[in-house]
Structure formats: structure tokens, C-alpha cells
A = this chain, B = another copy of it.
Amino acid sequence: MAFDLVVRGSLVLADGILENGYVAVSGGVIAAIGQGSPPAASEVVDHRGKLVFPGLVDGHMHTSSSTGWPGIEGASMSAAAGGVTTCVDMPYDVPRPVTDAGILAEKIQVVNATSHVDMALYGTIRKDGGVEEIAGLANAGVCSFKLSTYEYDAVRFPRINNTMMVEAFAEIAKTGLMVGIHNEDQEIVEGAIAAAKATGRTDPIMHARTRPPLCETMADLAIFEMALETGAHVHIAHSSLARGFDLAEIFRKQGGKTSGEACIQYLCMTEEDLVRLQGFGKCNPPFRTADEVERIWGSIAEGKVAYVSTDHAPWPKSRKEYTGDIFACGAGLTGLQSFAPLMFTLLRQRGLPLSLMASLCAERPAKFHGLFPRKGAIRIGCDADLLVMEEGEFTFDARDIQDREDAKWSPYDGMAMKARVAGTFLRGHCIWDGKQVLARPGTGRFVPRQHGETFTG
């Protein structure tokens, strides 16, 4: 019996590279993996000489923060072009965040109708309550929850106070799901911004100065202590600091289920880039120092980092333009389409094995979000989601971003890359051939969490 599809190339697994390999697909699922002459198949795609990774799983993004659910269509198109086959989307949508099973059902419909890649979804609660909706959201398939210690918006992205945070953690603990936390201390940031404004300082670097490392670590400690108390798996949604990963480990050793992720910008960008990029370099937490970047790579080497994500947030360009007040710019970067080339490039520059990318950007986020073993690996039985990388000397050009016009900007615009995305496969179908997106709105599907087992690494 012939397979539907065979893709040939060097397979990048989480524990090594299989030269002259192939992946054989039946019914959208990886049915065989091999080396040498491939078996018969309806279609054979020959990527020999290129590197075939598992399709990336981006564990952290915001498709609908600025435009609402219509944003899913464009963001997922750029994901397809970037080899990200599973998006894990945050719940902080305008006008309504995903705070109950009803809203979730609506968002799932939109995902199934408009997404170009598969998508798992976070749930959240309201500022004023809704803990009783947690079980329903879990039953309806959210992969994880997201809460925040910092308030961007009382409705869309509220700060949850400690009382409700503890209640929510206790309820989430029953589900086994992870709860990711936006980890910045509200008071420290507000105080610092007020002080900066009072002295007339609203230039770009002040974004970093008003969100000092302390504002992260204080939030980290607070939520980790609540994790220890409630038994919930509490995950800092981004740590720009090695200390965040150290703290997660200290609490794990005390019995807590605690973890943290690094976003790719914290692996390469520094305060100097914030000054250079102005509003287009603004994200929360902000870029840190070059020394801190090194320390984070150290955390990766020590195995302390849960996974690497993008925190993709495709603000309209107009919201990122700096006109004298950095505080007025939207916080967040685009990152989906640059994710694979950038991670590839950073690993090559540091002489690190490419299998780290298969692990940190696919298998591990899939495990943390309960999507494994359906997503995240080149592995028999997994969905046949593949990313084909072609090595070479390329330049990342923001104009190539496959999203709506005003999302075509990137902090990495013009950056030299060591590889490009030469092909993307989603459940056995080519959705990006290196030139254009072949997926259509609705090619992507909602992916529910597969099980309730907690994974903390």
C-alpha cells in the first residue's frame, strides 16, 4: 500500500540529525520514518540537501490583540510562511478575551474558518471573576490558561489580584493544565513611568528603565509562591532574565510545579536595539543587556528554559511609530515569520546543534501545552507537520511578511540569516512552497489539549 506523501531530506530530530532520511505520511499523520530509498507514495517531495524539522510550535502569540479575531487570518498566513504549523494563541482578544466556553466556541469557529495553520488556544478569566468557568474552558479544549500580574487593559488584559489569582490557581490545579503568567509588577512599573514622565523623559530607553529586572522577579516570586501553595503548574510567560529561570528551579526543588519560557528576542536583542528601533523595539519585558543575553543562553545550556516562543503581536505599524513618547507605542513585536530563520541563525552562530531548535521550538512547547504527541515532533503517529530549511546566506525582508499590509514590519528587518524556510507541510499538505502560501483560510484547525497530564520538564 502506497503512502500519500513522502518528504525526503535530512531529518532534524530532537536528539540528532538523520541524514538522507524521509518521512512517509498517511492520512495526514506520520506513518513511517526512514533512511535511504523511500517507500512508494502518491507524491514524493525531494528536499535532499535541505533540513527537515518538525513544524514549529509557537507557544506564545497574540493574533487578536489589536484587530480582534480577524487578525487570525493574516498572522496564521505568516506562520505558514515561517514554518510555524501550530500557533498557541493568547486569550487577550479585543473586544472580548476568552473567558468562558461560549466565547471559546466562537473563537474555535473563527479559527476553523480562517486560520492557515493549526491553532491551540489559551483561556483566561475576567478581572472581576469567572473562576467557575475554568473547568468548562478546560473541558472545551484550551491547552493552557493565561493570567497577568500587570494590567494593560481592564477588560482585554487585566491584572488579576492576588486573592483571585490564588483562587484561579487552585481551580486550574484540578485540571492539570499550565497557567502562564505575564510577570511584571504593576506598582513598580507604574511608579517608574510616573517618575519618568514627571521629569520629561519619554525617549525610547526609558521603556527599559521603567521596567527594571526587579519588576519581573518580584512578579515571579509572587506567582511561584502561589504555585507552591496551590499545586498549580505556574509558568512565567516570558523571562528576559536568567534569574527567572533560576527562581523557577529553586521552587521546583521545593516541590512547586514552576517553569518559564524565553522569547526569542531575549536571546539576541539588547537595550541598544531598543534605542535603534524605538517603538518597533518595544516589548514587555523590554530588551536587556548583552550580558543578560549571555546569561539566558547559559540557562538554556543548563536545561532550565521550558521552551522558546515569539510573543508575536502584530500591531499596526502606526501604533509602533515613535513620535516622542515611547510610552504611547504599543508593546509587542512581530516574530512568526522570522522565528525559524532567526533561531537557526543564532544556533549556527553559537555553534550549537540544530536539534535544540527541534526541541525548544517544537517538541517542548508541545509538551508543556499538552499537545504532544500529536504535535511537536517528527515521530510516528504525530501529525505530519514539517518545516524545510534551506541553508545559505539570506536577508530577512519585512516586506515579505505574509500578513496584512500594516503588519509588514519586523525588528529583524534587514538581518542576515543563515537559512530560509523552503517549505512548510501541515498534516501532510504543503502550505508554503518557499515562494507562496498555498494554505487557504480554514486550512488550519483548532487543536485541543490532548490530555491532562502536567509536564514541567
Contact = CB atoms under 8 A, between A and B. Distances in A.
Contact of A31 (B26, B36, B221): B36
B162 A191 contact: yes
A198 interface: no
A35 B225 CA distance: 44
Contact of A380 (B21, B164, B187, B229): B21
Contact of A35 (B162, B222, B380): B380
> By DSSP majority rule, is chain A's interface helix, strand, loop, or mixed?
mixed
A229 B191 CA distance: 17
B225 A221 contact: yes
A213 B166 CA distance: 13
A225 B35 CA distance: 44
A381 interface: yes
A185 interface: yes
Contacts of A229: 213-214
A217 interface: yes
A105 to B, nearest CB: 31
Interface in A188-210: 188, 190-192, 195
Interface in A93-110: none
A430 interface: no
A188 B217 contact: no
A161 interface: yes
A35 B31 CA distance: 5
Nearest to A246: B254
Contact of A18 (B190, B250, B381): B381
Contacts of A24: 32, 34
Interface string A20-42: 01101010011111111101100
Contacts of A32: 22, 24, 32-35, 39
Nearest to A14: B15
Nearest to A220: B225
Interface string A205-244: 0000000011001100110011001000000000000000
A187 to B, nearest CB: 4
Interface string A352-373: 0000000000000000000001
A16 interface: yes
A118 to B, nearest CB: 20
Contacts of A213: 229
A214 B192 CA distance: 27
Contacts of A185: 162
Given A33-B32, A34-B31, A191 B225 contact: no
A218 B214 contact: no
A166 B214 contact: yes
Contacts of A218: 162, 221-222, 225-226
Nearest to A363: B15
Contact of A222 (B36, B222, B373): B222
Contacts of A16: 373
A163 interface: yes
B36 A33 contact: no
Contact of A33 (B33, B195, B217, B225): B33
A201 to B, nearest CB: 16
B214 A187 contact: no
Contacts of A35: 29-32, 380-381
Contacts of A187: 161-163
A432 to B, nearest CB: 26
A338 to B, nearest CB: 30
Contacts of A195: 163
A451 B244 CA distance: 37
Nearest to A18: B380
Contacts of A380: 11, 18, 21, 33-35
B164 A191 contact: yes
12 contacts: A1-B37, A18-B380, A18-B381, A32-B34, A32-B39, A35-B381, A39-B40, A162-B185, A162-B218, A163-B190, A163-B195, A214-B229
